[in-house]
Chain A
Amino acid sequence: MIWLRQLLSRRRRYDELAEMIQEHLEEKIADLIDRGMTREQAEFAARREFGNVTRIEERSREIWQWPNLESTLADIRFAMRQLVKSPGFTITALLTLALGIGVNVAVFSVINAVLLSPLPYKNADRLVMIAEQSPKEPVPAFDTYREYEEWIRNSHSFEKLAGATWARNAGAVFSWRGEKKEVMAVPATVAFFSMLGVDAVQGRTFASQDLNSACTVVLSHSFWEERLGGEPSWIGKSLTLDDQPCMIVGVMPRNFSFYPKQTELWTLITPNSKFTQKPWDMPILAFGILKPGVGRPAAQEELASIQRRVITENPSWAAMNLEPVLEDLQSEFTWLTGRNLRQGLLILFAVVGIVLLIACVNVANLLLGRATVRQRELGVRAALGAGRSRLIRQLLTESVVLSFFGACLGVLFAVLSVRYITTKGVMELPPGNPISVNWEVLAFTFLLALMTGALFGVMPAWKASRLDLNEVLKQSGRTTSHSTFTHRTSRNLVVIEVALSLIVLVAAGLLIQSLLRLKNAPLGYERDHLLTADLRLPATSYAKPEDTLSFWDNLESKLVSLPGIQGVAFAPALSFEQGMGPVTVEGAGSRSHVASASDPESISCAYFRVAGIPLLQGREFSADDRAKSVPVAIVDETFARQFLPKGAELGQRIKLGKLDSKEPWLTIVGIVGNVSRPTLFEGYSQRPSLYRPLRQAPDGSLSIFARTTGNPRAVEPEIGHAVEAVDGNVPVPTVQTVDEAFSWFTSEPRLRAELFGLFSVLALILAAVGIYGVLSQRVAQRTQEIGIRVALGANHQDVLRLVLGEGLKVILAGILIGVMGALALTRLLSSMLYGIETTDPLTFGSVSFLLSVVALVACYVPARRAMRLNPLIALRCE
């Protein structure tokens, strides 16, 4: 901080310096007088020999100064005075910049938290997720505990390997003070927490001795606080989960989260865990931390070789020939949460970048306009000896000061939007870092402000400093000669602006149309008036299939008698597509069809009728399809087309699993229409589906589907009461319409469409303001010319044509360039679009039309002003 002290003590230094020189001269004068000079002669001689005192003092002072810094400070002070002097300009420019910079800062703070900052775990860069085949397919990494143990025993690439589920619907029934609630309980293996390097804040995390207990849980901080009152005494006690006592060993820190973020507690996976018996019930993914220096490909190769050996030793495991794939955990998180979140954020960043560019163009235009007015001032400065680079420096300082204040306002705006994003939950965010406007974001903002200031300032400064001194000083105030040049520049800027807005508008148009298509896509069933409620029977009290079935029977008879309900059925919850094991078709040799079909669904007899899925061939399930009768199945069209012999579909027998599996042969009794299921990607897919009668394949977690006659809301409480009446121990479900249940699926595309829509409106307004600004300036400059034209007999139409024609040329050029730019850029959106081409001519056409209309309106206002010009007043200006 020496420089700071020096800066502060400068005044004293200067005084001292002056005194020293004075002392010097006096000593010398005294000396000279001693040698016989008169006082006058001595003074003269001393000064002459010493040199120019002022000059030397100045040179000595400079030693203590930073001339650049000081003149910059002076420039900044001057710039602020200038800005305060023209509040209209300043406010317009500041607001434009604040918006432009603000949206960039907001989007960057999301990107910084989600994509740039490392996950808040120890050695986050070495954490990987292991999936089978492809991380984009919901295929569990391992489906038996044995397989997992094989990996741990044989692999050398990992410091630790752990498993945990990523399923959205992982859940357990939590009994608390006589009430039953469904909670999100995620099964995890012993090493899970130690792999992440995060310790419990109360108690401990899982340890290997817990493998012998029946059930062990670690609580999330929010669960412990909100449901158990945050008492430390809970450690070591047990709570009831799925009617089973579970020992609480620890509570995780408040900010700890993993996927899915809503997880309330973690249960320990033991060799006896449920998923070992029913592989597809609970997809478990493997995670690992690589040893330092081990690359992902090497680890992947090692796991694959273990897998190949395990499969040859135990052929029954060879369900699918899958190869493990390693993904880095952070990118996997963003994928799991938002499918295209990473790409979406980057594209969003590009779009807000474009909005900022448009804002810059507008401010540049404003500055150009001001430069014309300030030419005289600049001329005087130049005449007093300021070089061109000095003028440019001063003008650039002004624009950077402007963008700096714009950025300050923008940060305010960003803080508000970040608060909105995090508290309102507008988007699902991956676990990890909280989104905030932190130091990194502020540093980004500062850089952005500097860049922005330079971007919109450099061109106007360049133009404004090109002065013909004589011309400028000769003119008394009005300037004309220079303005054609300035005008051409600002016209070109508006062309750019229109082109950029068109690109953003096209992107928004495509996303909005895509969203509409997604919402209105035919799903293969009737979703109007269809209610759904997910039920989960406690595993312990419904261990026997008879009990499960009688529960569904009782509930069905209760529900159908309710007024307002047309039909009731039970089927698995609506969820996105999931894979199925191999399917063997009888008589097709030993060949099995692998994967690519949906899970077999257990449904009640009325399901197709209630859901409105058409029966195409054969029959529906009936009450006669029971445990002891012939096992039957109904497949959909896609299944029949892909796997069954044509013409002999009905009566064909198939088996779930390989030929040698113990599964029973199922006889196909019917073919129904296809149902579209949301995919983990955007859009829907139609996978081959297979249905089994509930009586032959009992299931404890199903959803109620109810078709109502009137308002679906009216029967909501009735459904809850019915469930309670049948069994008070079953948690009361949340009733939703099918559309609501699907809303999570369209939430990403909707958010994206909304954001793009918002930004495109912003771009449109900015472009309109830009066009308006340039044309009104132009009209003001051409007042004399228009006056002469009118005086010579031009009528209103001619004047209108003159001004509008000029605007039209700009708009058309902008649209032309914009269309070409959009054609090149919208390709990036293709993975986010559903049912629409990136070059959709309708979108391009309507967007161009909209933009032209708005732009023409912006032209019309100055044109009208020109039309109304009084030629007398216009000419008097001469």
Chain B
Amino acid sequence: MRKKAECRDLFPGALELMILKSLSWKPMHGYALVQRLKDISEDYLQIEEGSLYPALQRMLKAGWLKTEMGVSARNRPVRIFKVTAAGRKHLEQELASVEKMFAGVTRVLALAGE
């Protein structure tokens, strides 16, 4: 199956990063999280709904997330994902390193051709 040209593979850890950021803005259940990511990325990024779950489990195992019972917008009982203190710390570290990486890439792109 060919991917659309504008859909790129994410770098390792990018999905986790986006999940953490979204959830630290607001705790959400799985479906809401997918919708949110889709809305924001405006189809630039290809995120399959299902593939989110292994990532969520990985993050639960690492202790960055925890689940709580809550209700959805439709008043259904659902499991809400929340960022833990460890997750917040991880997010900060990752953001810092990602910024550094982007800065580096931008600099190289700007100057490499000169």
| Chain A residues engaging chain B, CB cutoff 8 angstroms | 6, 16-17, 19-21, 23-24, 26-28, 30-31, 49-53, 55-57, 59-64
Contacts and interface: CB of A to CB of B under 8 A. Distances in A.
Among A6, A20, A21, A53, find the residue whose CB has the most chain B CB atoms closer than 10 A.
Answer: A20
A16 B67 contact: yes
Interface in B51-107: 51, 53-54, 56-58, 61, 67, 72, 74, 76-79
Given A27-B31, A27-B74, A49 B54 contact: no
B49 interface: yes
A56 B67 CA distance: 19
Interface in B18-63: 29-32, 34, 48-51, 53-54, 56-58, 61
Given A6-B61, A23-B79, A26-B76, A50 B49 contact: yes
Contact of B51 (A6, A51, A62): A51
A421 to B, nearest CB: 51
Contacts of B77: 23
A50 B67 contact: no
A53 B78 contact: no
B31 A19 contact: no
Nearest to B53: A60
A27 B34 CA distance: 11
Contacts of A27: 29, 31-32, 72, 74, 76, 78
A49 B76 contact: no
A59 B54 contact: yes
Most chain A Cβ neighbours within 10 Å, of B50, B56, B76, B77: B50
Given A57-B53, A62-B54, 7 more contacts: A17-B53, A20-B53, A23-B29, A23-B79, A27-B29, A27-B74, A49-B49
Contacts of A28: 31, 49
A51 B47 CA distance: 12
B57 A56 contact: no
Contacts of A50: 49-50
Contacts, number: 68
A62 B72 CA distance: 28
Given A6-B61, A51-B49, A56 B78 contact: no
Given A23-B29, A23-B30, A56 B76 contact: no
Nearest to A49: B49
A163 B33 CA distance: 82
A355 to B, nearest CB: 49
B54 A20 contact: no
Contacts of A59: 53-54
A63 B78 contact: no
B20 to A, nearest CB: 17
A31 B73 CA distance: 11
Given A16-B67, A56-B50, A63 B79 contact: no
Contact of A23 (B34, B56, B78): B78
Interface of B is mostly: mixed
A16 B60 CA distance: 12
17 contacts: A6-B61, A17-B57, A19-B79, A20-B29, A21-B30, A21-B53, A23-B30, A23-B31, A23-B72, A24-B34, A28-B31, A30-B74, A31-B31, A52-B50, A53-B50, A55-B50, A60-B54
A63 B60 CA distance: 10
Contacts of B34: 24
A16 B79 contact: yes
A228 B61 CA distance: 67
Contacts of A21: 30, 53
Contacts of B56: 60
Interface of B: 29-32, 34, 48-51, 53-54, 56-58, 61, 67, 72, 74, 76-79
A56 B31 contact: no
Contacts of B79: 16, 19-20, 23
A57 B77 CA distance: 20
Contacts of A55: 50
A63 B50 CA distance: 15
Nearest to B29: A23
Nearest to B74: A30
Nearest to A28: B31
Nearest to A62: B54
A139 B68 CA distance: 83
B50 A51 contact: yes
Given A28-B31, A63-B57, A23 B48 contact: no
Contacts of B67: 16, 20
Nearest to A52: B50
A31 to B, nearest CB: 8
A56 to B, nearest CB: 4
B79 to A, nearest CB: 5
A409 B93 CA distance: 54
Contact of A24 (B49, B58, B74): B49
B29 A63 contact: no
A56 B54 CA distance: 7
Contacts of A64: 57, 61
Given A6-B61, A19-B79, A51-B49, A24 B31 contact: yes
Nearest to A19: B79
Contacts of B50: 50-53, 55-56
Given A23-B79, A27-B74, A49-B49, A60 B30 contact: no
Nearest to B30: A24
Nearest to A2: B63
Contacts of B54: 56, 59-60, 62-63
Nearest to B31: A27
A63 B64 CA distance: 14
Contacts of B30: 20-21, 23-24
Contacts of B32: 27
A24 B48 CA distance: 13
Contacts of B53: 17, 20-21, 56-57, 59-60
Contacts of B31: 23-24, 27-28, 31
A56 B51 contact: yes
A24 B52 CA distance: 11
Nearest to A57: B53
A869 to B, nearest CB: 64
A411 to B, nearest CB: 38
The 3 closest A-B pairs by CB, nearest first: A51-B50, A27-B31, A56-B50
Contacts of B49: 24, 28, 49-51
A29 to B, nearest CB: 10
A23 B31 CA distance: 8
A26 to B, nearest CB: 7
A52 B49 CA distance: 10
A16 B29 CA distance: 13
B36 to A, nearest CB: 13
A334 B79 CA distance: 70
B74 A51 contact: no
A60 B56 CA distance: 8
Contacts of A63: 54, 57-58, 61
Nearest to A53: B50
Contacts of A52: 50
B57 A51 contact: no
Contacts of A6: 61
B56 to A, nearest CB: 8
B21 to A, nearest CB: 20
Contacts of A51: 48-51
A27 B73 CA distance: 9
